[in-house]
Amino acid sequence: MSDVQYKKHRVFRETPDVIFYDISVENSNASDLVVHEGTAISPPDDMVGAKQFYIHYHQTDNNRVLQGERTFELVNFEWKYPYHIVSLTRTSGALVIPPKTYHRSISGEQGSIVINQAIRTEGFDPESEFQPVSAAQEPELYRVLMHEKPVEHTLGD
């Protein structure tokens, strides 16, 4: 079984040209809508061009593409294969990003809209949970990016 997990949606009704999805995520206690205009990168590279990542300690992300395409880069030192690249579309389901996973995302040319049905735990503070971390400042992260071959996933195809 892969360390990369996702939560599939459930179609509960279909009519001509309309599909009703149940996209519930158990224990979700926060919903963030993230809109990328065009080929946006979040977080952007730092001032010297090094990749930056977010890492949460008190939040599990459940990122679901509502429109467009979004590719996530994930690094988790506890996984058997620590480096993954995951491409998502509307049909993919929600990508689960557990705490202590470095992550960043890049939208397709048309941009994308993602809903993150997060699970936040005691100690969550947006000031500390959403500070970009530069690979230039994190030696182990830099080592993984330079020397590990990423496992590539396309969910929903």
Where are the chain's structural domains?
A: 5-154
Q: Collapse the DSSP code of 85 into the 3-class scheme (helix H, G, I; strand E, B; otherwise coil) and give the result.
A: strand
Q: How far apart are the first and last CA of the chain?
A: 18
**Element at 65 (helix H, strand E):** strand 59-75
Cβ(89)–Cβ(156) below 8 Å: yes
pLDDT at 86 over 70: yes
Residue reference for tokens 């990423």: 150
Summarize pLDDT for 125-145 with one digit per residue, the tens: 998 999 999 999 999 999 999
CATH architecture of 5-154: Sandwich (2.60)
Helix runs in the chain, H state only: 126-129, 139-147
Whole-Å CA distances, 53 to 11, 28, 116, 138, 141: 33, 23, 16, 10, 10
Percent residues over pLDDT 70 in the chain: 97
Per the DSSP assignment, residues forming a β-bridge with 96 are: 5, 62
Q: Please report the pLDDT score of residue 3 as a whole number.
A: 87
Summarize pLDDT for 28-65 with one digit per residue, the tens: 999 999 999 999 999 999 999 999 999 999 999 999 99
pLDDT at 74 over 90: yes
Angstrom distance (rounded) from CA 112 to CA 6: 18
| pTM value surpassing 0.75 | yes
Q: Which of 99, 92, 74 is nearest to 84 (CA)?
A: 74
Band of pLDDT at residue 157, cut at 50, 70 and 90: very low
pLDDT at 154 over 90: no
Cβ(61)–Cβ(100) below 8 Å: no
